[in-house]
Structure 1
């Protein structure tokens, strides 16, 4: 990662590194188990082909992440002439962070939100909705943009895409094993042995479940890290806290139809477009609002202490 002025967090980095290691080990373990299963059925090379295919899908998701996300939100790239205030704010934040400026986009959506995506800082784009532009004041919007720029600087799209490789491969295998079920599949040696498709299905489901939970943990760490980095960059953690409260409150007034339309982007948003549910669960992509506000309050108290 290129060096920037975003503050680090050794504890969060260590936890994210541990989760990434576990997800990597899960991917390697899945391929190893599959090689053993297919070896007994006389086709050991199938596991390697599946692994390569899974990595190919992961690569494509990473490579086309900006186009897919923009299309999902109906967003458009805007020039400095079209959105001078927004560009000016991002220019200032990028200069403060000593990082290259990403492209800037706007989505015509009532849902107040923002996200960053792109396979690298050079291909990144930060997108805000028209809803968030109407909801937040300048300081609050600056806090949100600093959060999103932290994701760009830390290459979080790459991190989350690579981390999802085990789950993607497991999902592909679970789908593929259904064809083995329909066509009878191959049996392992022994009259009482389970069919290969059933073994693959069981291994895939277990792998997917573990990967799913680990990814949610990693995503929550990633959001806390971006909150922290953005707050220290602007030195206004209270502005980001106010923005999160406004966004969450406004989302609760948005019709369910509009929220469902942006559901696929929840993992990317600064706050998930979910109404009336608790985020204090193992399956949430974001920390609870209370946890985020608590961290920002601690940063505010730290910044307010006299030095020396």
Structure 2
């Protein structure tokens, strides 16, 4: 990772490292079990690897296309470019491409495999609702994702879930479900059960990793701007306004929650273990502690 001035967070880094280690351990155990059962998983791994590479190298294009975002020039969005220019200089990192998505959903996201191939996108909804200080806090959060290569981290972390899902389909579509091993239970049923368990565990670990990186981005962005209260104000304002967006629009945007600054759909109806983001209360509590430490 290229060096930037975004503050490191050793505690969160340790938790993310442990989560990645557990995912890797789960992956090794899963593949070893498949091999022990005599399953040729090469085809599945090749297909999953292809998905991984496509997601890794094309994440910026895929996200912009899905969110109907378009890159804008400094002439089209001078204030937005000005904020990102200033944050790039403060962080000591290359300026990402700048895009705007025509959506009333107040949100923002950053994607791209590294600092040289990154894009920061904001919606027209967030531009209408936030003042300059609040918008700067949100953009600092998003740019910390770029600096820490979070897209690459999450792409790699999601690989095991993709493999487990494909392995389940492989077992169903190739007739393994009826094949027995030494008069024991059908091999396909074992693969199906193990793949389902592996998918569930990897899903929970990946969601935990996503929540950790959001907390890390909040902290790094707040320390870079030295204005944690502005980021907290943006969080409160966005979370409140998202609640007034039509539910159908929120459900359409929900698949992109992992990219967003704030989840499109959240609340008590969704278990915290399944959420891509920490609760609003936890994020505000962290920002309050940072504000107290800075004396602001």
The answer to whether the superposition gives a TM-score over 0.5 is: yes
Residue of structure 2 in register with 1:165 after alignment: 159
User: Are the counterparts in 2 of residues 279 and 287 from structure 1 also a CA contact under 8 Å?
Assistant: no
User: Are the counterparts in 1 of residues 141 and 221 from structure 2 also a CA contact under 8 Å?
Assistant: yes
Matched, 1:155 2:149: yes
Which of 266-275 and 276-285 deviates more? 276-285
User: Are the counterparts in 2 of residues 216 and 285 from structure 1 also a CA contact under 8 Å?
Assistant: yes
In the TM superposition, residue 278 of structure 1 has moved relative to its aligned partner by 5.3
Counting only pairs closer than 5 Å after superposition, residues 9-24 of structure 1 correspond to structure 2 as 9-24=9-24
User: Are the counterparts in 2 of residues 118 and 157 from structure 1 also a CA contact under 8 Å?
Assistant: yes
Q: 1:69 aligns with which of 44, 63, 67?
A: 63
SS of residue in 1 equivalent to 2:70: strand
Q: 1:217 aligns with which of 204, 208, 211?
A: 208
Counting only pairs closer than 5 Å after superposition, residues 79-228 of structure 1 correspond to structure 2 as 79-181=73-175, 185-188=178-181, 190-191=182-183, 193-228=184-219
Task: Provide the rounded CA distance (Å) in 2 between the counterparts of 1:279 and 1:304.
Answer: 35
User: Are the counterparts in 1 of residues 171 and 177 from structure 2 also a CA contact under 8 Å?
Assistant: no
Q: CA, structure 1 residues 105+92, in 2 after alignment: closer, same or farther (shift >3 Å)?
A: same
Task: Provide the rounded CA distance (Å) in 2 between the counterparts of 1:276 and 1:17.
Answer: 28
Q: Deviations over 1:154-179 (max 9, x none)?
A: 00000000011111100111222221
Residue of structure 2 in register with 1:6 after alignment: 6
Q: 1:59 aligns with which of 53, 60, 68?
A: 53
- Paired residues in the alignment total 296
Look at both structures and tell me which one has the larger radius of gyration over its CA atoms. Answer: 1
Task: Provide the rounded CA distance (Å) in 2 between the counterparts of 1:60 and 1:217.
Answer: 24
In the TM superposition, residue 186 of structure 1 has moved relative to its aligned partner by 2.7
Task: Provide the rounded CA distance (Å) in 2 between the counterparts of 1:275 and 1:53.
Answer: 32
Matched, 1:237 2:231: no
User: Are the counterparts in 1 of residues 266 and 275 from structure 2 also a CA contact under 8 Å?
Assistant: no
SS of residue in 2 equivalent to 1:282: helix
RMSD (Å) for aligned C-alpha atoms? 1.5
SS of residue in 2 equivalent to 1:106: strand
Question: Gaps (5+ residues) in structure 1?
Answer: 39-43
SS of residue in 2 equivalent to 1:262: helix
User: Are the counterparts in 2 of residues 69 and 117 from structure 1 also a CA contact under 8 Å?
Assistant: yes
SS of residue in 2 equivalent to 1:273: coil
Q: CA, structure 1 residues 265+55, in 2 after alignment: closer, same or farther (shift >3 Å)?
A: same
Residue of structure 1 in register with 2:29 after alignment: 29
User: Are the counterparts in 2 of residues 252 and 275 from structure 1 also a CA contact under 8 Å?
Assistant: no
In the TM superposition, residue 187 of structure 1 has moved relative to its aligned partner by 2.3
